[in-house]
Amino acid sequence: MGDVAVGARSGHDGEEPRGHPVEAAPQAADSAASSGDEGLRAEDGTVTDEQSQSGDEGPSGSGARQPGKQRSFWKELPILIGIALVLALLIKTFLVQAFSIPSDSMQNTLQEGDRVLVDKLTPWFGSEPERGEVVVFHDPDNWLAGEPTPDPNALQTLLSWIGLMPSAEEKDLIKRVIGVGGDTVECNGTGPLRVNGKALDEPYVYPGNTPCSQDDQGGQFKVTVPEGYLWVMGDHRQNSRDSRYNQGDANKGMVPVGEVVGRAIVKAWPINRWGTLPVSDTFDQPGLNDRPAVSAALTAAPNALALAGVVPVALWRRRRPGA
């Protein structure tokens, strides 16, 4: 704009009389000065704008170009370990827990020293053990009396706390469920073992063992399992202290369902023995659920009592005015 202003003034001055050079010069000087001032102001304004723009863009631009400083791995490591421990504890409490086999009572299905994974989730949804399942349960009434107690070191204690090893303080056993509430289980002679009158074909019994043991300590029996209880036996029939040999306790050899930790589903260790623990087909044979009349009556009795209590109340409410 300064150049245009000066050029306009110069053309106009050329047409004026020569008698007034003094007036033209100051006017040109004034114009030059004013145009210079305008140029200076324009330049100052431009500089000011650039400074303001660079000042505004500087912090945001540098923030976008420079990512935040990352945490050191060693600072994050304790956090990661803490999260892993919490997850392991939650898994142990609600999902799956590892247990070690302490004896040969479940041979050859399980060997001493095997590690099994136990499903602890399904019991939270009301699922109860079924015939043929291998289950871990708390000692119901001093079944393990006199058994040696292991003395774990600090590392084993920590691993057991997070569920990677079984706890030495917990008195747990592992057996196979033979009878559930309402079943009649019996052994005569060397077998076969019968449930509700049906003979079981038990391929999991230890080779050389008979399904029933001939002794006077509990090997010969006929029992009816109450509702809410289980009758359990080891697969190594002649080397298992199970329901048969605890009939003198408070539960008459039965295991309360509430004492069951969960079903053993996988042999996880050693690797060469890895495998699942399925239910034998013998427990699916027809007629196994046909319980004797007395057992069926005992099973139906609680429901019948509840119904007998509800019907009078319902009739009374129907006869009330306005009900």
For 109-114, the CB contacts below 8 A with 24+ separation are 109/134, 109/176, 109/204, 109/235, 109/277, 110/134, 110/174, 110/235, 110/264, 110/267, 111/273, 114/267, 114/269, 114/270, 114/273
105 an active-site residue? Answer: yes
DSSP state of 172: E
pLDDT tens per residue across span 73-86: 787 777 777 777 67
**Predicted pLDDT at 124:** 65
Task: Tell me whether residue 92 is one of the annotated catalytic residues.
Answer: no
Confirm if 199 and 193 have CB atoms less than 8 A apart.
yes
pLDDT at 213: 95
CATH of domain 97-299: 2.10.109.10
Q: Of the listed 175, 213, 243, 267, which one is catalytic?
A: 175
Each domain of the chain, given as residue ranges in start order, spans: 1-16+24-47, 97-299
State the greatest distance between any 2 C-alpha atoms of the chain, in Å, as a whole number.
152
Could you say which residues of the chain have pLDDT below 50?
A: 1-63, 293-323
Active-site entry in 105, 213, 240, 243: 105
Q: What is the pTM of this model?
A: 0.62
Q: How far apart, in whole angstroms, are the C-alpha atoms of residue 167 and residue 28?
A: 104
